[in-house]
Amino acid sequence: MFEIQLANGANVVGGTLAIAFPSVGMVGSIAGSFVSESLKMERIAYVLSEDVPPAALVQDGVPSYPLRIMGHKGISIMTSEFQVPLTLSTQLAKTILEWAWKNGFTQIVCLEGLMVNQEVVEADKAIRVFGVGSTPAARDTLTKAGIERFKIGMITGVSGALLSEAERTGRDVICLLVEANAMYPDARGAAKLVESLTKLVPTLQLDLKELYKEAEMIEENVKATVERTKEMLAARQGQAERLGKSYMYG
């Protein structure tokens, strides 16, 4: 069972509710954290459940409930540092939909990663963002925002459950999927997600320079690690070949 409880003295802001859980390349979590910190969002609600891990995220000496909702004016973000088990996804999705529509939210936007096979996404390579809408109105919103439709595939977890339950009940849910690398935290993919989110929420004005700067740092570190690993493997391979020859020929 899940229950969403308002924080003391908090007011629900309505508008758009973004779901930012861990996903491929951690893009959802990174995007949600960036928006929350940029807007200096306040905690407005907690998602309570006996199935939530007994943990607290501590930042600057302040603990946070692991599954929470942050809000600022016309946008709120539900975020978590842990992946919700698949077996609980439908139950949580129904709770989110019921709470969101009771509290004046007109759309829900899920932030997800779509796995790509590259070791490192090159800085000059265009990263694509796709969208799925639960209703004709949601799909029309994607078209007007210039976001390419995700044509075929499977979306699982809370995002998938939200889409299917919203399609059944006629509520507007959008899922944004960005191409992301599962090998490292993909800040560039997260930045693309935030860009697309601003198209769906025109009042959301954010400076993405810092996020792209972080993406460049991560990419450089990953590239350096990949190169060092290749050199190390090549050196070990050469050593193994030399040892093999010495054993062979004496």
Q: Read off the pLDDT of residues 209-230 as tens digits, 9 standing for 90 and up.
A: 877 777 777 666 656 665 666 6
pLDDT confidence of residue 223: 60
Please report which residue ranges of 57-203 form alpha helices under DSSP H.
Answer: 86-102, 136-145, 157-169, 187-200
Q: How far apart are CA 246 and CA 225, in angstroms?
A: 31
Nearest to 65 by CA among 135, 5, 134, 141: 5
Residue 2 near residue 48 (C-beta atoms within 8 A)? yes
Domains parsed from the chain with CATH numbers = 3-206 (3.40.50.10900)
pTM value > 0.95: no
pLDDT confidence of residue 250: 47
Residues of the chain where predicted confidence (pLDDT) is lower than 50: 120-121, 124, 247-250
pLDDT confidence of residue 226: 58
Q: Which residue has the tokens 């000496």?
A: 61
pLDDT confidence of residue 229: 60
Amino acid at 160: G
pLDDT confidence of residue 118: 57
Q: How far apart are CA 217 and CA 213, in angstroms?
A: 6
pLDDT confidence of residue 236: 64
DSSP code at position 171:
-
